[in-house]
Amino acid sequence: MTTTTPAAPARPGAGAVLPPLRIGPITVDTPVVLAPMAGVTNAAFRRLCRESGAGLYVAEMLTSRALVERSPESFRIISFAPDEVPRSVQVYGVDPATVGAAVRMLVEEDLADHVDLNFGCPVPKVTRRGGGAVLPWKRDLFSAIVHAAVDAARPSGVPVTVKMRKGIDEEHLTYVEAGLTAQDAGVAAVALHGRTAADYYSGTADWDAIATLKEAVTDIPVLGNGDIWSAEDALAMVAHTGCDGVVVGRGCQGRPWLFADLAAAFAGSDVRIRPGLGEVAQVVRRHAELMVEHFGDESKALREMRKHMAWYLKGYVVGGEARAALGLVSSMADLDDRLAALDLTQPYPGEAAEGQRGRAGSPKRPILPYGWLDSRELSEEFRRDLHEAELSVSGG
C-alpha cells in the first residue's frame, strides 16, 4: 500500500494457493476481481486498489442504452488511466440488441479489454424492469443477451464474463442452468454471488451454491462472491468451494489495502496490512485527491467522499462528533482540518475494524414485472416492452 507504512517483506509460505486466473487472453496473476459497485469503483478507487495489490478491477456498472446513446456519464464511468490494464467494464441491459450494440461499440472503439454482464443486481429499479438478478428466470432472454454480447466481442478477441446471483429466491433458483447456458454461449468465466435477489445483502452467503456451480460448470473458471471480508475469508471460500478465484465487493470499502492482503494470501504468505489511524488518514487524503482529479470538481468530489468516511473509520476511536463532521466535508481544506483533529497515533484496533462493511439490511421481496414468474419464457408482451425497459442512467 503506497500510502501507508510499507509492509514487512512477505515471509515464504506454502506456495501459491491457486494458479493465475485466465479469462480468455487475460491472465490475472492474483485470482481476485474487484466487483463493480455503483458510486464506489470509479477510477479513483480502482487506482487505490491497484496501488495496493493485484487483480482485475471492474469499473462501475453502466447501462447498455446509456452507452449506445453516448451519455457523458457513461463515458466518465469508462474512463481509465493510461496504465490501467486490462480495462474492465460491466454492462447491464435487458434487450439483446442493445446489449450487443453496446459491446460492439466497446470493442470496436477500443474502449475495453474485458466486458462483464450484470445478472446480479438486486435493487428494485433494476428488477422491476426484469433486469439484474431476476433476468435469468427468462431463460431465452438470458441466452439471447449472452449470445449477443459474446458474438459482438468475438471478432476483437475481447472476453465476456457473467456475474449472477443464485436466482430470484429459494423457490426460483436459476444459477446452475444459467451457468451452463453461459458456458455454452462462449463466455470466458462466470461469477456467482451466493445470495438470491430476495436475500439482498442479508444473512450469510451460500458458499455451497458456489461449490455446486463449480461442479456443474467445468470448461471455464467459476468465481465465488459473497462475505469476503478478509484474506482469510477468501482462502476459506476457495477451500470450501473449489472456485478458481474470488470476487470482492463490500469487503474492500474503506480498505483498498485488502488487495495487498489478498495478494499475499494467494501467494502463500501470512503478511497482512494493519494500518494505524494515521496511515488510514493518509489513504483518505489520497483518495480525495484522486476523486478531485477524476471529477474535475472539488465540491462534487468531496460530496462523493462522504460515504467512504464511515467505512475508513470503522473500529477506530474517533467520536460521534468527528465522524459526523467527516461525513459532511465539502473541501480539501475542510478534510485536512478534520483529519488533523483526530488522534492519528492510534494503532490498528484489531477485530473492531474487521468484518462487514456497511449495513446488510434484511431480506426483501423482489419487485418484479407483473406476471414475470408465470413462465420461464419471454412473452410477446414482454418482448415488445424491452425497448422501453432499458434504464437511461447507470447505477444499481
Give the tens place of pLDDT for each residue, 26-49: 999 999 999 999 889 999 999 999
The low-confidence residues of the chain, meaning pLDDT below 70, are 1-14, 358, 385-396
CA distance linking residue 124 with residue 12, whole number of Å: 47
Coil/strand/helix, residue 160: strand
Closest by alpha carbon to 21, among 171, 223, 235, 228? Answer: 223
Catalytic residue among 49, 121, 243, 252: 121
The pLDDT score that the predictor gives to residue 389 is: 56
DSSP state of 326: H
User: Which residue reads 444473512 in cell numbers?
Assistant: 203
The HSE-up count of residue 335 (CA atoms within 13 Å, CB side) is 24
Peptide bond into 86 cis (omega under 30): yes
Q: Is the pTM of this model over 0.85?
A: yes
- Number of Cβ within a 10 Å radius of residue 144: 18
Angle at 346 between CA 345 and CA 347, to 5 degrees: 115
The pLDDT score that the predictor gives to residue 356 is: 84
Closest by alpha carbon to 311, among 227, 226, 250? Answer: 250
The pLDDT score that the predictor gives to residue 11 is: 41
The pLDDT score that the predictor gives to residue 388 is: 58
Give every CB contact of residue 41 below 8 A, 6+ residues apart in sequence: 34, 35, 57, 58, 59, 60
The pLDDT score that the predictor gives to residue 395 is: 39
- Number of Cβ within a 10 Å radius of residue 116: 31
Give every CB contact of residue 209 below 8 A, 6+ residues apart in sequence: 166, 175, 192, 194
Phi first, then psi: give them for residue 28, nearest 5 degrees. -110, 105
Phi first, then psi: give them for residue 387, nearest 5 degrees. -65, -20
DSSP state of 307: H
Name the E strands within 135-288.
Answer: 160-165, 189-193, 222-225, 245-248
CA distance linking residue 357 with residue 251, whole number of Å: 6
User: Which residue reads 419471454 in cell numbers?
Assistant: 378
Largest CA distance in the chain: 64
CA distance linking residue 98 with residue 76, whole number of Å: 20
- CATH architecture classification, 19-271+375-387: Alpha-Beta Barrel (3.20)
CA distance linking residue 61 with residue 45, whole number of Å: 14
CA distance linking residue 58 with residue 35, whole number of Å: 6
Name the E strands within 4-55.
Answer: 21-23, 26-28, 32-34
Note whether 126 and 396 are within 8 A (CB).
yes
Give every CB contact of residue 380 below 8 A, 6+ residues apart in sequence: none
First to last CA, the chain: 29
DSSP string of 32-84, one letter each residue = EEEPP-TTTSSHHHHHHHHHH--SEEEEEEEEHHHHHTT-HHHHHHT---TT-
DSSP state of 11: P
Coil/strand/helix, residue 321: helix
The pLDDT score that the predictor gives to residue 16 is: 83
Verify whether residue 243 is a known catalytic residue.
no
